[in-house]
A and B are shown apart, each in its own frame.
Chain A
Amino acid sequence: MRVDEMLWRDWHAVAIVADIAAGRRYRTTVLGVPVAYWRDGDGLHALREAGDTGPCRIAERYATAWICLSDAPLDFFAIPEFDEPDRRVVGAGSIRLHVSGLRAVENFLDMGHFPYVHTGYLGAEPHTEVLPYDVAIDANNEILATNCRFVQPRASAIAADPIEVSYTYRVARPFVTMLYKTCVPAPDRRDVIGLFIQPLSEEWCVAHTVLIYLDDVNSDEELRRFQQTIFGQDLMILINQVPKRMPLEARHEIPVRADAMSSAYRRWLRENRIAYGTWQPEAVEA
C-alpha cells in the first residue's frame, strides 16, 4: 500500500445532508483539494475546483454527504443501527477546528479526560480511574475497544442520575469513529454517536457529528445542545495541542494503560501507512 493510499481512496464527510440547502453551491476542501458540491432535484453533485478534472464522487450515507477523490473508492463501512426503524437520526452540527483530524478522532476515543474537560457531564473527581478495557483489530481492519466503563454524572440529555456507562469505541477509517453507549430507555440496545472528520488539510479539519439514538423524549435541539456542549469543551483543548499534527511515536507523547485505544489507533495508522496529519520530526530537521 502506498503512503496514504487508504485516505485517497476513502470517502470523506463534507456535510450533514440536512444542512445542505438546495440550489446553493458549497465550497470546501478534502485532503487539501478544493471541491464544490450542491444539491438539486437529481440529488447531490460534486466536482473539483479550479479546473482540476480529477475524480470526484459524492454519496449520501448515514445522513451525511461524503466525497471521494479516487476512481477506486473503498466500500463504505457499515452502521447497521442506522437502518433500524425506531432510530432517531439527528445531525449535531459541523464545527471547524485548527488541529489535525487525527487528534480529533483520538480525543473522541479517550475517557481519561472526562472528569477534567467534561466536569459534571461525563465525569467528575474523585471518579477518575479508567478501568481496564479490551482493544482488538477485527476482520474488517477496524479497531474496537470493548468493555469500557466510566461513572458519569450526566451521561446524556436523558440521564438524570449518575450511572456507570458502558462504552464501545470503534475506528472504521482513519477519520471515521463511532461510540456506542448504554441506552437508558432500552438497556439491551445502544445509542450510537458517529464522529466523521473531514480532513481539510493536515492541520485543519471539520468535525461532523451524527447521533443515531433511541431517545423518544428529547427534541432534536435538546440532543444537539448536549452534544455541542460536550464538543465545545473538547474544542478548546484540541486547538491547544502541540504540535497540531499528531505524533505517532511514543517517544514524544507518553501513554498510560488508559490510552490503550489511542495507542492502538496510532499503531494502526502507522501500519496502514497513514502520514497525512501526522507529525514527522525527521522530515523537518535542518
Chain B
Amino acid sequence: MITLYDYELSGNCYKVRLLLHILGLSYQTEDIEFFPSRQHKSEAFLRVNPLGQLPALRDGDLLLRDAQAILVYLASRYDASRRWYPLDQPEMLGKINMWLAFADGLTGSISAARLHDLFFFDFDADQCRARAHQLLRILDEHLWFEESTGGSWLCGGAAPTIADLACFPYVMLADEGGISLIDYPAVRRWTDRVKRIPGFIVMAGIFPVAPALETAPRTESALRS
C-alpha cells in the first residue's frame, strides 16, 4: 500500500495527491502537521526524510522524498497509458525534467512568499516575489508559443505530463504569496486546462473550472485532448 506523508495546505503534497487521483491509485495518508506544530521537523519524521520536508512517499520498501521525484516514480511505475512520463521518449523526458526543475524554482519563490505572508516564515518576501515574476514571465511566454502552434501543455505533447502537475499548484496559489497572475494570461488559460484533466481534484484555495465547450459530437480526437 502506498503511504503519502501529507499536509493538506502544502502545494508540494498536493502535486502527489493529484497524480495519485488521476492515476486512480489507492493510498493511505499519514498526516504530518506542518503548522503550527512543525511536525515535519520532529525526530520521528526526520527518520522518514532527513531534510524535514514534505511530501514523502513509502511504497513497499521504497521510501522517497521530493515531490518531483515522487511524481517520476509513480508515473513510471503505475501509468499504464505511458503518457505522464513516457519512458520511451528521451526528448520528452528531457523536457519534462527541465520543467520539473522549473517547478522547484516556483516552490522556492512563490511558495516561499506564501509561507512568509501566511505563516510568518522568515524569508525575504520581496525578493521571492521578484523571482516569482521572472519565472512566471518565462512560463507565460513558453505557454503562449505552445498555444500559438496548437499545443496545450508544457512539454508540447498531445497530453499533459507530470511537468504540468508539478508547476500547477504554486502557480494556482500565487495570490496567497501576494503574486497576481494578471500579467500572465497564457498561464491562466493553461491552469483551466489542467483543471479539466480527468481525475483532477482541488485543494483548499483552488476551485473548479467550467467544463469545456463541446462544439462537435464526441469523436476520438475530441476525447484525446
Per the CB 8 Å criterion, the residue count for chain B at the interface is 21
The answer on a CB contact under 8 Å between B33 and A233 is no
Is B178 in contact with chain A by the CB < 8 A criterion? Answer: yes
Instruction: Give the CA-CA distance A233 to B202 in the complex, in Å.
Output: 10
Instruction: Give the CA-CA distance A98 to B117 in the complex, in Å.
Output: 8
The answer on a CB contact under 8 Å between A96 and B120 is yes
Chain B residue nearest to A239 (CB atoms) is B175
Is A136 in contact with chain B by the CB < 8 A criterion? Answer: no
Q: Which of A19, A229, A239 contacts B36 (CB 8 A)?
A: A19
Is A216 in contact with chain B by the CB < 8 A criterion? Answer: no
On whether A95 and B119 interact (CB within 8 A), knowing A221-B37, A229-B204, the answer reads yes
Give chain B nearest CB distance to A128 CB in angstroms.
16
Chain B residue nearest to A97 (CB atoms) is B118
Complex interface: chain A residues within 8 A of B36 (CB) = 16, 19, 91, 93-94, 224
The answer on a CB contact under 8 Å between A228 and B205 is no
The answer on a CB contact under 8 Å between B205 and A233 is yes
Return the CB mask of A221-254 against B: 1 if under 8 Å, else 0.
Answer: 1101100111111011001100000000000000
Give chain B nearest CB distance to A18 CB in angstroms.
8
Is B147 in contact with chain A by the CB < 8 A criterion? Answer: no
The answer on a CB contact under 8 Å between A235 and B35 is no
The answer on a CB contact under 8 Å between B8 and A232 is yes
Q: Which of B31, B35, B176 contacts A236 (CB 8 A)?
A: B176
The answer on a CB contact under 8 Å between A221 and B33 is yes
Instruction: Give the CA-CA distance A96 to B120 in the complex, in Å.
Output: 8
Chain A residue nearest to B36 (CB atoms) is A93
Complex interface: chain A residues within 8 A of B119 (CB) = 95-96
Give chain B nearest CB distance to A104 CB in angstroms.
13
Complex interface: chain B residues within 8 A of A235 (CB) = 118, 176, 204-205
Complex interface: chain B residues within 8 A of A239 (CB) = 175-176
Give chain B nearest CB distance to A232 CB in angstroms.
3
Q: Which of A19, A93, A225, A236 contacts B205 (CB 8 A)?
A: A236
Q: Which of B33, B118, B173, B175 contacts A95 (CB 8 A)?
A: B118
User: Can you sample 9 A-B contacts with CB below 8 Å?
Assistant: A97-B118, A225-B8, A225-B33, A229-B9, A235-B204, A236-B173, A236-B204, A236-B205, A240-B175
Q: Could you tell me which B residues sit within 8 Å of A by CB distance?
A: 8-9, 31, 33, 35-37, 39, 117-120, 173, 175-176, 178, 203-207
